[in-house]
Amino acid sequence: MSKKKRVEGEGKVVGSISQGHGQAAFSVSFWPGESESGADGSGKDEVASSPTARSSCRTVYHVACVGGNRVNVYEVDPGKAPRGIELRQSYLDEDEREVFYACCWSCGRRRQDGSRIAMLIVGGQQGIAKVIDCGNFEVNVALAGHGNSINDARAHPVDGALLLTASKDESVRLWNIRTGTCVAVFAGDRGHRDEVLSVDVHALGGVFCSAGMDNTVKVWRLDSPRVARAIRASHEAPNPDFRPFRTAFEQFPVFSTAHVHSNYVDCARWAGSLIFSKSTANRVILWTPDPARASRSPRPDATDAAHPAAKSDAVLVLRELELAGADIWFMRFGVDPKHELVAAGNKTGKVNVWRVDAETSSPALRISQHKCNTAVRQVDFSPDSKLLACCCDDASVWVFDQLNTNAALLTFNIYRKCPYEHVPFTELIPWTETILGRAPGRFVDTRHGRTHYVYYNRANTLPLVVLVHGSGNSLERWLPIAKALSAKGFRVLAYDLYDHGFSETSGTKYRVDSRGRHALNFTLDVLVQQFNDVLEALGIKSSFVFVGHAIGGAIGLDVAATSAARVKGLVLMDAVVYPPNRSNQMLTAASTLKVAHKAVNDPRHEENQRHFQMMHTLLEENPRYLAAVTSITKHCKGYATSLVNEFKTCCRDGTPILLVWGREDAVTSYDDCIKLQNIAEKLASSSVYERLLQRNR
């Protein structure tokens, strides 16, 4: 067999697009299918794949690249050089602070004509993975759950609905992009101890590997009984009664080692059942786990004898590939779909290509171009391994022809100013649905975010009853009462306060810092404004009876005091009128979590299991919920200061008031109810006070 010759040279640029933006391009990914373009050069308008390619048609490729808050999809046609590239789609995220670090394709679903649906997944600094349907030009779902930025994302090679994301929050999450559920979380006791920088799934789909800044590479099972059950459940119909999906938590990988690298491991990829990984030591290493090495050794050393499990993280290094100029991190290599080639770039813009089965560690091919002189952040192969794409720090993406190894086929910049209009991200569904299941009601846009509500008998002309829950609760607590009132013919409106239940504040405007503090101060004015925004959005101009529990009662008092003509009656249930005792443990997040844990398993709360399960899930999965509860107790009038003056105003205006109190209430004392009755007795006229007492009985 003849010896393979190493090819080296400067590629010929056949087509190029000038740079228009200075931000780095961090990720590039070929659409894994193929598209046909007719002999006349006409092609399909959307990313799709064809199972066969006729001789009269040229094969075209589609490649996605991300950087900053922008995602571009290009069509690459080698037969049209020097104009072989055309911008097909461009998406601009509404959050200017977003910086996308990863992109990948999922193509498991097919249309009726047999073509595969192109779903592009992108993720970055904001920690939200967004699934873009490139056929319908819209964001299909937003997957939120990570506590920090997403560094890498990989679609499952067998089940196209599954997606793995690696995050700075030291976890890897498994998602079902069709149902929008978080299937499993891989983190904890034996998980990563620092950022997870890379993730890749084995070709058979049974295991995946992850690598991170803790210098380790870990192998996790996807076919373990617990994870497999969760995967099957994620494909099924939503849980009855809208119960939240039970996410599996896996803390123990089947293999973990820190013996391959002594610094950050920024990329790990499968090649068959072997693993390629790279750090900052100017080389890419091919290795395999070898936990049984100690048992094969004819002369075990003293360490092995004293600690039989000491070599359970042992590895067998097969090859070390030279990669000069790669001593900076977050530079990811690529393995071709046939697992025959591996390619990696360096910080000077050069790309090395090795054959996996070669005997030498030197590259079989070195590709360079004098205009490509910045760090190569990622390399990816086309599905037929003929083209090689890489993205660089200068916001450029280069595509090379593997069959003509000396020629750079195309180069283009993902930030160029072009005549195409950027397609904005469509309005995202509330991410709370990804952890709580499908919301029972609908949503309206309000000043500080989106509000979830239910509205029964909307077309009826009977009186309207508005139900507002307290801090830490949700409209779920009102549903039995709301349904009973609607059965009597009343119009009934209930909604979730911001960051409670399914409502949420704008993630682009209001963040939660590392100490759990919400950027939005939940003052009473903010909550009253939300109430008014909901009524305005629904076109409600009639009067109503306001029923409020805890802080909901405080909202009702403020509304009644300022709009007495609209409030036909006011029901205060354990309302927060006097500031509660600040030492009360119910006001602490830790105690709230304990209450939720206890109530979920308490048979006495069987009828409220849905509510307590939601409360439990939000406390564990949604930092905004905890921050909102804390902010309300700190800033909201009623908790922070008294609402006695508003109560006096309602009494003077003659507003009918019903007080409903619990004698053993742990937050708002029953003494508060007695105080309010005494105030009403002094201020209200005789007729008003009689009506008050009559309703109080």
pLDDT in tens, 640-683: 788 899 999 998 888 899 999 888 776 788 888 888 888 888 87
Q: How far apart are CA 451 and CA 435, in angstroms?
A: 17
Percent with pLDDT over 70 in the chain: 73
Does residue 70 contact residue 414 with C-beta atoms inside 8 Å? yes
Does residue 217 contact residue 275 with C-beta atoms inside 8 Å? yes
Taking CB atoms within 8 Å and a gap of at least 24, the contacts of 167-172 are 167/127, 167/195, 167/196, 168/127, 168/195, 168/196, 169/127, 170/194, 170/195, 170/196, 170/212, 171/146, 171/147, 171/196, 172/196, 172/199, 172/208, 172/210, 172/220
**Tell me, what's the pLDDT at 619?**
64
From 314, 134, 301, select the one nearest 217 (Cα to Cα). 314
What confidence tier does 398 reach under pLDDT thresholds 50, 70, 90? Answer: confident
303 pLDDT above the threshold of 60: no
What confidence tier does 504 reach under pLDDT thresholds 50, 70, 90? Answer: confident
Q: How far apart are CA 258 and CA 430, in angstroms?
A: 39
pLDDT (average), residues 479-488 = 89
Task: Give φ, ψ of 35 to 5 degrees.
Answer: -120, 150
Each residue's pLDDT tens digit, 247-273: 999 999 999 999 999 999 999 999 988
244 pLDDT above the threshold of 50: yes
- Where is average pLDDT lowest: 193-197, 259-263, 324-328, 631-635? 631-635
The residue whose two tokens read 């008031």 is 657
Q: Per-residue DSSP letters for 523-540?
A: -HHHHHHHHHHHHHHTT-
From residue 198, give the alpha-carbon distance in Å to each of 129, 168, 214, 330, 583.
15, 10, 12, 9, 45
690 pLDDT above the threshold of 60: no
Q: How far apart are CA 577 and CA 647, in angstroms?
A: 8
Backbone Cα Rg of the chain: 30
Tell which wins on pLDDT, 485 or 618: 485
pLDDT (average), residues 193-208 = 94
From residue 449, give the alpha-carbon distance in Å to each of 93, 205, 317, 522, 536.
17, 39, 52, 13, 15
329 pLDDT above the threshold of 90: no
Does residue 83 contact residue 14 with C-beta atoms inside 8 Å? no
What confidence tier does 77 reach under pLDDT thresholds 50, 70, 90? Answer: confident
Reading phi first (left if > 0) and then psi (alpha if -120 to 50, else beta), residue 385 is in left
H helices present in 236-362, as ranges: 293-296, 302-306
Q: What is the mean pLDDT of the chain?
A: 78
**Tell me, what's the pLDDT at 55?**
36
**Tell me, what's the pLDDT at 72?**
86
Return the top range by mean pLDDT from 86-100, 141-155, 345-359. 141-155
The reported pTM is 0.57
**Tell me, what's the pLDDT at 35?**
54
Q: What is the DSSP letter of 45?
A: S
307 pLDDT above the threshold of 90: no
Residue type, 641: T
**Tell me, what's the pLDDT at 53?**
35
Residue type, 115: S
Other CB atoms within 10 Å distance of the CB of residue 261: 21
Beta strand ranges found along 469-509 (DSSP E):
491-495, 504-505
From residue 79, give the alpha-carbon distance in Å to each of 18, 27, 62, 670.
21, 25, 14, 81
The residue whose two tokens read 């101890």 is 193
For Cα atoms 63, 65, 67, give the angle at the middle one, nearest 5 degrees.
175
**Tell me, what's the pLDDT at 671?**
86
